[in-house]
Amino acid sequence: MLQARKNRLWKFFIILILSAGGISLILFSLNSKLDLFYTPSEMFEADIKPGYRIKLGGMVKTGSIIRNGTKIKFIATDFVKEVPVIFDGVPPDLFKEDSGVVVLGYFLDGMFEAEEIFAKHDENYMPPALSIEEKET
Amino acid sequence: MISAFIHKFSSPKSFVQITKTLYPLFIFTGLSMLIIGWTWGLLFAPPDAVQGNSYRIIFLHVPAVIFAELIYFFMALCALMHIVWRVKLAAYLIKSAAPIGAMITFIGLFSGSIWGIPTWGTWWQWDARITSTLILFIMYLGILTLHGSFSNLEKSDRLMSILVVIGVVNIPIIKKSVDWWSTLHQPASISVSGGSSIDPSMLYPLIISIIGLGFTLISLGILSSRSYILSREKNKKWVLKHV
């Protein structure tokens, strides 16, 4: 290989390493700040100031949804800690028991007041008939 | 040896000649597979157990975002060729691939937003997956803008290649974003090792759509790079003969 070409190959790798290194430093220092939401356990550990708007994500606990008009009460869980959530409005169609949920709002006096609800679905896709079979087994 | 190989297959002239015969084959394969994949996916594949019919936008969204990343990866390989071996053709290919990459990334973001409204209940969240894909879109635009901002085209080519290399770090970040951070976007359904959490009745039309879009985008790339090569090399003898 020509010397000039070798130097340019070095140049290529130096650009790549500097770029990767710089971006890794940024990502490591931001770390969990890049998470979209707190899990219930993380939220209790983080000791969030009251009146601070946050996102909380978890699973909707089985049988915990109580509807009263447009008002909805349910429990978000990460299977370690649980947070009761209240919401007034129309949730997305995919909001249901045993399914992922992300709520935006305030955690006050042991109760999460949600302003917005987003449904988080999983990566599985299957026809309805197969899904029923799977639940039975 | 590598150098000899690269120089043999990297002349703009032979690229224009080879792609001329490949183009009809690629565009025919691409469009026919897209028609088959999308007809199968939209009309004959079963609805999803959770999402019903709204999941069907997967047949546009997933192929689009796959190529949003692959086109950038291809541009990074070209940047290596251009920086180390000074292959002019590689720079021409980067310049011609970038608008196609920008377009398909936009389609990926836009179809994702449309999908998000009925399923997630929101069209945009600043989660790691969506934000890193937006950065990819901005990278494509930045590469084109940088290339257009110098009167010396050789200089434009060199700086563009460097910017492409800097930005390639974003590609593994997009790929791993759903594993490294909590996101509203679900984790990957298809893994590189071959596993899939999509039922075969939906996976086959999806794979056909992916291959179909791939060939269609290569055909678009051939069209745009051929015209760009001819305009850049317009003072060369072979171009005069070709036209």
**Interface predicted TM-score of the whole assembly (ipTM), two decimals:** 0.90
Relative to beta strand A82-88, strand A100-108 is unpaired
Let me know if residue B128 belongs to a domain.
Answer: yes
Let me know if residue B191 belongs to a domain.
Answer: no
Tokens of B136: 């990819």
How close B233 comes to chain A (CA, Å)?
24
What pLDDT, on the 0 to 100 scale, is given for residue B19?
Answer: 92
Q: Do A93 and B80 touch (CB under 8 A)?
A: no
The reply to whether B173 touches chain A by the CB within 8 Å rule is yes
The reply to whether B127 touches chain A by the CB within 8 Å rule is yes
The reply to whether B172 touches chain A by the CB within 8 Å rule is no
Let me know if residue B47 belongs to a domain.
Answer: yes
What pLDDT, on the 0 to 100 scale, is given for residue B237?
Answer: 87
What pLDDT, on the 0 to 100 scale, is given for residue B8?
Answer: 67
Beta bridge partners of A87: A72, A114
Per the structure, the complete domain to which residue B130 belongs is given by: 15-186+198-237
Q: Do B120 and A36 touch (CB under 8 A)?
A: no
Let me know if residue B28 belongs to a domain.
Answer: yes
Q: Do A125 and B119 touch (CB under 8 A)?
A: no
Between CA A70 and CA A60 the distance in angstroms is: 18
Q: Residue B28 above 80 pLDDT?
A: yes
What pLDDT, on the 0 to 100 scale, is given for residue A15?
Answer: 94
Report how many domains make up chain B: 1
Q: What is the mean pLDDT of chain A?
A: 91
Q: At what angle do helices A3-30 and B153-167 cross, to 10 degrees?
A: 40
pLDDT, average across residues A26-36: 90
Q: What does DSSP assign to residue B92?
A: H
Between CA A84 and CA A75 the distance in angstroms is: 4
Q: Which member of A15, A36, A94 has the closest CB to residue B183? A: A36
pLDDT tier, B1 (very low <50, low <70, confident <90, very high otherwise): low
Q: Do B197 and A8 touch (CB under 8 A)?
A: no
Q: Residue B165 above 90 pLDDT?
A: yes
What pLDDT, on the 0 to 100 scale, is given for residue A137?
Answer: 64
Residue A130: Cβ within 10 Å count: 13
Set of chain A residues whose Cβ sits within 8 Å of the Cβ of B157: none
Q: Do A36 and B125 touch (CB under 8 A)?
A: yes
* Dihedral sign (CA A127, A128, A129, A131): positive
Q: What is the mean pLDDT of chain B?
A: 94
Let me know if residue B7 belongs to a domain.
Answer: no
Let me know if residue B5 belongs to a domain.
Answer: no
pLDDT, average across residues B16-36: 95
pLDDT tier, B241 (very low <50, low <70, confident <90, very high otherwise): confident
Between CA A121 and CA A101 the distance in angstroms is: 8
Three-state secondary-structure class, residue B203: helix
